[in-house]
Amino acid sequence: MTQETMDETGYEAALQAARAGAAEGGVPIGSSLAGAEGVIAAGHNRRVQQGDPTAHAEIDALRAAGRRSSYRDLTLYTTLAPCALCSGAIVLFKIPRVIVGEDRTFSGEIAWLRERGVLVEVLQDQRAEALMERFIAEHPEIWNEDIAEEPAGS
């Protein structure tokens, strides 16, 4: 499998996971992990569904991947720029490469990841951006909770 094919497959798995999260009424962020063997795990933000503040998409994908002796041969795909929590997990597990769907609705910790040697590529995927824009417009209180921001006017 070429790198380009792996990236297309890995990112599409993340996008499908984001759509699944939206269909469940959750925050529409998806993530997957892939390597030479293809996609090994996918997950989506389940904070609303599980009432778990740490159930972010990247963390869900890592949980689905399970224990591994190393994550250094994997690429993490995510539909939205990773937050501090998820970026910390990426650095902790030494995941060398992250493909991000978009960083316009949330800029995340891309610069921090790059400072720590993680190769980060941002696609500016309109599909991911549209999912987030719709969710933020319809559920600003849940989005603010997800990124630990105070609601406007507080």
- Active site members: 58
Of the candidates 58, 28, 53, 54, the one whose C-alpha atom is nearest the C-alpha of residue 43 is 58
Cβ neighbourhood burial of 59 (10 Å; 0-12, 13-18, 19+):
buried
Half-sphere exposure of residue 99: CA atoms within 13 angstroms, side-chain side: 25
Q: 3-state DSSP: the chain helix, strand, coil percent, rounded to 5?
A: 45, 20, 35
